[in-house]
Amino acid sequence: MSDAPKNPAVTYGSYLRVDELLSLQQPRSEGPEHDEMLFIVIHQVYELWFRQLLHELDRVMALLTADDSPRAQHTLKRILTILKVLVAQLDILETMTPLEFLSFRARLDAASGFQSDQFRQVEFVLGTKRPEVMARFPDGSRARLALERRFTDPTLWDAFLHYLAREGYSMPSSHLSRDATAAVVPARAVQDVLIDVYRRDPKNAELCERLVDLDEGVQEWRYRHVKMVERTVGMKPGTGGSSGTTYLRNTVGSNLFPDLWEIRSRL
């Protein structure tokens, strides 16, 4: 009879699957090149944070739907803190010089953050829904199924407009029943409601400000990523097949929640 206990005690290593985790960093370069490990680790860490962001974004929407604004705000604060970590992580990657990156870049083939389905899922939840990104993932794959679901699901903005309507604001019904797969078109009627919120409803005005923080945080990541790309590969095309820096520059500066920006000049 074996002496091994039937239910071995949970340990740090078994709970966190440390052995499996440490087997997942597999450089492709000969040697391997020293900096490829950093490149792999940082991207894997991003994917884990994207996973957590999606988990928290789903939570915010559920809390808004349950009219629990204090806990929705609390969760938004956590999301913003994660975003700050995501931006700060780029500093580590910027310690890699262009030549260090070039030492293994060719081994990436067509791999690029461009193909991160979780990043696209975050974009979908936040309202940037480009259907063509789904076609990059095989039919029936985890990524494709998740993207298809999030494509048709309401966005965070939709959850917020419905929450405001239940708070007693006269949100136009055309906005409450809008097509959730379409981009948000800024609208005067929605802005009138938001102005009302800012002028006489501090609790919900705070919620609006957290959404603006989120919008700014995503743009900050985009800006820092494109500057890092520019200093690492200049104007070379990306491994993912885009024009690289030029493509990325065009993604910086568009607002996720345009109505919340437009009201600033009217307040």
The only residue of 27, 113, 172, 186 in contact with ligand HEM, by rule CB under 6 A: 113
Q: Is 125 in the site for ligand HEM (CB under 6 A)?
A: no
Render 55-92 in DSSP notation, one character per residue: HHHHHHHHHHHTT-HHHHHHHHHHHHHHHHHHHHHHHH
Integer Cα distance of 30 and 16 in angstroms = 30
- Least Å distance, CB 102 to ligand HEM, is 10
Q: Does 256 bind ligand HEM (CB under 6 A)?
A: no
* Residue 127 in tokens: 């309202």
Is 238 a binding residue for ligand HEM by CB under 6 A? The answer is: yes
Nearest 10 degrees: CA dihedral of 41, 44, 49, 53?
160
Asked whether position 79 contacts ligand HEM by CB under 6 A, the answer is no
The amino acid sitting at 92 is I
Which value, in Å, is the radius of gyration of the alpha carbons in the chain?
22
Does the footprint of ligand HEM cover residue 251 (CB under 6 A)? yes
Report if residue 244 touches ligand HEM, rule: CB under 6 A.
yes
116 binds ligand HEM (CB under 6 A): yes
- Compose the 42-61 pattern: x for residues touching ligand HEM by CB under 6 A, - for all others: xx--x---------------
Q: Which residues of 210-230 are buried (b: 16+ CB within 10 A; e: fewer)?
A: bbebbbebbbbbbbbbbbbbe
Q: Among residues 46, 19, 58, which one has the least CA distance to residue 115?
A: 46
Give least dist CB 117 to ligand HEM, A.
10
The residue within the footprint of ligand HEM, chosen from 29, 58, 233, 261 (CB under 6 A), is 233
Return the number of the residue (96 or 171) whose C-beta is nearest ligand HEM: 96
Q: Tally the residues of the chain.
A: 267
> Is the CB of 13 or the CB of 98 nearer to ligand HEM?
98
Q: How far is the CB of 247 from ligand HEM (least distance, A)?
A: 5
Backbone angles phi, psi at 97, to 5 degrees: -80, 165
Binding site for ligand HEM (CB under 6 A): 42-43, 46, 93, 101, 112-114, 116, 119, 225, 229, 232-233, 238-242, 244, 247-248, 251
